[in-house]
Each structure stands twice: as C-alpha cells, then as structure tokens.
Structure 1
Amino acid sequence: MLSAKSLFQEIVDNDESFRLFCSIAASGESQGGWENGRIAALVPESERDLAPRIARHGADEDKHGRIFTALIRKRGLKPVPVPPKTDYTMLLERQGIGLAHDRLRADEPLTLQDIVVYLAHSRVTEQRAADQMAMLRKHFAEHLEIGRAVRMISEDEDNHLAYTHEELLRLSAIGHDKVIQETLRTCALAEMRVYRDVSLAVMAHMGHILGWPKAKSALLAAGIHAVYLYERFGGWRRMTTLTMPERRDALGGPATSAPEFA
C-alpha cells in the first residue's frame, strides 16, 4: 500500500535516495540560517527587540542543516549537489517571495515593511515545515537512525511557527493588519506553486534512484497535483490565518544545541 510512511521508509532505506533527501533539506535549512542571520543584523531601530528572536531562528536553521549533514556522514556518505528544480528556497526567491538576497547582502537597515514581508514569508513557509515534520514525527519519532533528529527539528519548527503568529499579531494590533493579510495571501499562493513543483521534481529524482515503475510515479504525481488543487481552492487559508499561540515567546531564549549531530 502506498502511504507517506511507506514512501519515506523506502527513501530512508536506500543510501542514494537518503543522501539526496538530506542534502536537499540541509541546503534549505542552511540558506534559511543565513537569511535570518542577515535579517537580524539589519533590523530597523524600531524593531530592535525582535533581533534576538530572528537570530535564534537563524541559529536553529543552521543547526538543522548540520543535523541533516551529520545524518549523511553517519552512513559514510557525502552530501550531493542539490538539483536546481528541487531548491525550494531559491525558487521562492525567484518568485519574489520574502526578502531578496541582494537586499540582505547590502548593509542598509531594513524597514518595518521589510520586517512584515519577512514575518509573513516565515509564517507561510514555517507552516509547511511544521506540517512536514509533524508527519515525520508521527511515523518516525522512534526510528533508531533518524528519530532523535526528527523530534528535535519538529519541536523547533513548532516554535518558529508560534513565533511568527505572535509577532504578526503584534504588528496587526498596531495598524498593519491590511498589509499583513495581503502579504500572507500573496506568499501562500506563490509558495503552493513552488511546493508543488519542488515535490514533483524531488519525486522524479527519487523514482529514478529507486527504480519506481511508471504507474507508481504517475500515482505520486497525481497525488501532488491533488494536494495543490485542494490548497489552491481553500486549503491555503491554514497558512494565512493568525491565532495567538499557546507557546508564547517561543524564541525568547538561546538556541538549543545538538552536539551529537555536530
């Protein structure tokens, strides 16, 4: 029976598919770490209290990148280059979602509008990350090889998502609600398209590595398209609603370390 659990188990059990999966994940997390680090350094004076939380977010993403790389090396393997069509972070930037890297490489302070864009982008992408990690945690939390990594990263992603809700609600309360809602919707609609395309590309690479029959690949592709249609016609709202989280000040302390993965 084809299921998320059986599919991922197949990927984990094969060295080549596993290292491709972890390489893609490590690259995206490391890129997110760099982006958040630059944003923390460029926060406008009016939002300086936010800088430590953004820095914590970046430190968590860096840690996740190291964890995925360590999982590869523990099998005696090396990371592989990320195929361009599977590069979620790069493709989002090309769609104009989030803050452009050229903007982050400059030394000029960001504006409050930039911070709204950053938080809205994070709200959408962290929802995706939290959902994916919740699925992995459900099926692989006790897996001997990846269980500890899954639990740790999932906990962090839940914190990141809670943080974006809380900060966007704070800004909404002081008069930025309209621009926040518009930015959230724009980000969500673009992210869904990118996620669909990246998922199709990743599954194509996995199918080639694992020798999937055409029927299986076609069924998986149909499922990815079905998810996109569901999200496009209403499911996107889970990425744009804002509710005060149970976890308040989720990024208020230092990043947790993961020495066993370093």
Structure 2
Amino acid sequence: MLSARSLFQEIVDNDDSFQLFCSIAAGGETQGGWENARIAALVPDSMRHLAPKITRHGADEDKHGRIFHALLRKRGLSAVAVPPETDYTMLLERRGIGLAHARLRAEERLTEDDIVVYLAHSRVTEQRAADQMDMLVRHFGDHPLVGKAIRVISHDEDGHLAYCHEELLRLAREGRGRTIQRVLRESALAEIAVYRDVSLAVMAHMGRLLHWPAPKSAAIAAGIRGTYAYERFAGWHRMISLSPPERRNALGGAPTPVPEFA
C-alpha cells in the first residue's frame, strides 16, 4: 500500500534517492537564506525594525541547508546538481511570485509594498514547509538518521509561519489588508501549481532511481494531481487565512545553534 511513510522510507533507505532528496532540500534552504539576507539588507528605513527578524529567518534557512549537507556527509555522500524542474524557488520566481532575484541583487532599497509581497509570499511557502515537516515528524521524528534534523527544522518552520502571520496582521491593521489578501491569493494559486509540478518531477526522478514499476509511478502521479485538484478547488484557502499565532515574536531572538549538524 502506498503511503507518504512508505515512500519516504524507500527514499531514505537508498543512497541515490537520499542523495537527490537532500540535495534538492539543501539547495532550496540555502537559496532561501540568501534571499532573506538580501531582503534584510535592502529593507526600507521605515521598516528597519523588521531587519533583525528577516535576518534571523535567513540564518535559520542557512542552518537548514547545512543540516541537509551534514546528513549527506553522515552517509558518505556529497550533494548533486538539482534538476531545474525540481527547483521550487526558481519556478515560483518564473511565475512572478515573490521578489525577483534581479531586484535583490541590486543595491536599491526595497519599498514597503515589496516587504508586504515578501511577507505574503513567505506566509504561503512557509505553510507548505511547515505542513511537510509536520508530516515528516509524525512518521520519522524518531528515525535514527533523520529524526533529530527533521524535528529541528520543523520547529523553525513553525516559527517562520508564526512570524509571517504576526507581521501581516500588524500590516493589515495599518490599512494594507486589501493588498495583503490580493498578494496572498495570487501567491497561493501559483504555489499549488508549482508544488504539483515539482512533486511530479521529484517523484519521476525517484522512480527512475528506485526502479519503480510503471503502475506504481502512475499511482503516485495520480495522487499528486488529485491533491492539486483539491487544493485548486478549496484547499488553497487555508494558505491565505491569517490568525494570531500561539508563538509570539517567534523570530525575536538569536538562531538556535545546532553545532552537531554544522
């Protein structure tokens, strides 16, 4: 019987598939670290109070990238090139979601609207990350190889999501509610399509590495498309709601060091 647990177990147990999984994850996290660092450097003067939290967000993402590289080293593996069709961040940018990398590479200050776009885009993508890590913690939180890493990352992702809720609610109270809802909706609808495409691409690569029979690959692809159909019909709404988080000021302190992974 196919399940998220059985599929991930297969991926973890095989060196080639585990190598690709960690390489994709590390690449995305490292990219997120760079993006947040650039946003923190370019945040407008009127929002400089957010710079330490954005910096903390980026430091967490960098830490996650190091964790995935450390997991590879523990298996005697090195990172491999990430196939372009599995690059979640790049594909989102191509759809015009979030802040363009060309803008972040420049030295011009961002605008307040840019920060609203950044936070709304992050609220959507951090929801995805938090949900994925929550699922992995449920199934693999006690795994001897990846359990501790998954728990650390999951805790951080929950904090990132809480931070996005808190800051967007504050901006909504300042009169930016309509803009926030528009950007959230655009981001969510684009994200669920990109997530479908990336999931299909990743599972196709895994299928080749693990020699899955055609019926198994077809069933997995059908499940991914079914999830997208549900999200496109109704599920995306939960990605744009805003509510006061239980964890307040989640990114208000220094990053939690994990030297055993670094």
Shorter-normalised TM range: over 0.9
Q: How many residues align?
A: 262
Give the TM-score normalised by the residue count of structure 2: 1.00
Q: Letter of the aligned partner of 1:39 in structure 2?
A: I
1:182-214 residue CA offsets vs partner (Å, 9 max, x unmatched):
000000000011000000000000000000000
Q: Letter of the aligned partner of 1:158 in structure 2?
A: D
Write the mapping of 1:31-110 to structure 2, written as runs, cut at 5 A.
Answer: 31-110=31-110
| Structure 1 partner of 2:181 | 181
Deviation at 1:32, TM superposition (A): 0.1
| Structure 2 partner of 1:226 | 226
CA distance in 2, matches of 1:65, 1:97: 22
1:6-44 residue CA offsets vs partner (Å, 9 max, x unmatched):
010000000000010000000000000000000000110
Deviation at 1:258, TM superposition (A): 1.2
Deviation at 1:119, TM superposition (A): 0.2
Q: Letter of the aligned partner of 1:110 in structure 2?
A: L
1:208-245 residue CA offsets vs partner (Å, 9 max, x unmatched):
00000000000000000000000000100111000000
| Structure 2 partner of 1:5 | 5
Q: Letter of the aligned partner of 1:52 in structure 2?
A: P
Deviation at 1:73, TM superposition (A): 1.0
1:84-141 residue CA offsets vs partner (Å, 9 max, x unmatched):
0000011111111000001001111110000000000000000000000000000111
| Structure 2 partner of 1:21 | 21
SS at match of 1:38: helix
Write the mapping of 1:160-175 to structure 2, written as runs, cut at 5 A.
Answer: 160-175=160-175
Identity value in percent: 73
CA distance in 2, matches of 1:16, 1:188: 32
1:24-66 residue CA offsets vs partner (Å, 9 max, x unmatched):
0000000000000000001101111000000000000000000
CA distance in 1, matches of 2:74, 2:222: 34
Q: Letter of the aligned partner of 1:17 in structure 2?
A: S
Gap runs ≥5 in structure 1:
none
Give the TM-score normalised by the residue count of structure 1: 1.00
Query: Pairwise CA RMSD of aligned residues?
Result: 0.4
Deviation >2 Å, runs of 4+: none
